[in-house]
Amino acid sequence: TREVEVAVSRDCATALQPGRVLVASRNFANDATFEIKKCDLHRLEEGPPVTTVLTREDGLKYYRMMQTVRRMELKADQLYKQKIIRGFCHLCDGQEACCVGLEAGINPTDHLITAYRAHGFTFTRGLSVREILAELTGRKGGCAKGKGGSMHMYAKNFYGGNGIVGAQVPLGAGIALACKYNGKDEVCLTLYGDGAANQGQIFEAYNMAALWKLPCIFICENNRYGMGTSVERAAASTDYYKRGDFIPGLRVDGMDILCVREATKFAAAYCRSGKGPILMELQTYRYHGHSMSDPGVSYRTREEIQEVRSKSDPIMLLKDRMVNSNLASVEELKEIDVEVRKEIEDAAQFATADPEPPLEELGYHIYSSDPPFEVRGANQWIKFKSVS
């Protein structure tokens, strides 16, 4: 009767909201099979599969995550230019298929450590945009309580964010040693850039990992430029996946989330089987400069950046695949875009309104579980209390 009429008219109104019409009336496929680019191999008989199945549920999840990372980085750019974010700030827009694809290929109990282009990984490892943006603005609600900033963010099984070029690689080997020592069926993803790939400490870490058969996936995110230096000018050999010499390697299309996911699953299974470490080179691209102080067009042309955007953009590639295979509609993906933009705006509001940590907390959190003690300040008369 009257209640039924009201319910029916309300349902009709919902269905007729802009963007919901086609989504409500279409039957989407539950999954689709895609061909993916074959990986180049080093010391491996066979590599990851060249076809993969993408479910509608996973596709929508990956799309939302990549779009969130993209929008978060663009918001960070805006806040930096407004001088609300200060100091170092390295953005990863263009490289979203790396952080989202790697996470899709491992378990939450696995471990990950990276360099300073870390915002995307911080999000995919489980922290909210709110906590990340508030950390960038140095506020109490940040994931490191406003004390770490852009390069020093942490989450469960995520060890940063490391500001020293290449220094995270031996640490990653150490985390893999802990996995093996504790007898857990876990792996550590240890990431570094093409700029760090020529450092001696990386080869020392390779050697120890190979000797001790550590479950470590060494991952070179090759975005073609180490700061402002192209890989061709910096490295006598740009086959980074072969750099492990005695360690097997894969070269992967880092702009295709499905390629990254399948290669990561393959590499993780290799490590879990007890065979030791493996190398992955992800061929990717950053749209921004090295950091916010680098306009990014003095060592490459605007046309080069635009060409990558128009032909290889990771979000565009996934969107086209999903729409063409009836896994989603353009309208549905646009709805996700609107929701993501709102989430980012709300997070930015929080990150600018939240208070900064008080000066008394400067000495806090030096140790994780120690009784309180005093820390000397800039001179001997200034004392700060340290609380775990």
Longest CA–CA separation in the chain, Å: 81
Contact 251, 222 (CB under 8 A): no
Q: What is the pTM of this model?
A: 0.92
**Tens-digit pLDDT string for the chain (388 aa):** 444 444 444 444 444 454 454 555 589 999 999 999 999 999 999 999 999 999 999 999 999 999 999 999 999 999 999 999 999 999 999 999 999 999 999 999 999 999 999 999 999 999 999 999 999 999 999 999 999 999 999 999 999 999 999 999 999 999 999 999 999 999 999 999 999 999 999 999 999 999 999 999 999 999 999 999 999 999 999 999 999 999 999 999 999 999 999 999 999 999 999 999 999 999 999 999 999 999 999 999 999 999 999 999 999 999 999 999 999 999 999 999 999 999 999 999 999 999 999 999 999 999 989 999 999 988 989 999 999 9
Q: What is the pLDDT of residue 8?
A: 41
Residue with tokens 């990340």: 132
Rounded Cα gap, residues 244 and 204, in angstroms = 10
Cβ neighbours of residue 185 closer than 8 Å, sequence gap 6 or more: 272
Best CA proximity match to 32, nearest among 17, 58, 54: 54
Rounded Cα gap, residues 309 and 320, in angstroms = 14
Q: What is the pLDDT of residue 158?
A: 98
Q: What is the pLDDT of residue 326?
A: 98
Q: What is the pLDDT of residue 26?
A: 80
Q: What is the pLDDT of residue 24?
A: 53
Rounded Cα gap, residues 356 and 40, in angstroms = 48
The class that CATH gives domain 49-362 is alpha beta
Amino acid at the residue 62: Y
* Domain range list for the chain: 49-362
Best CA proximity match to 267, nearest among 256, 255, 282, 284: 282
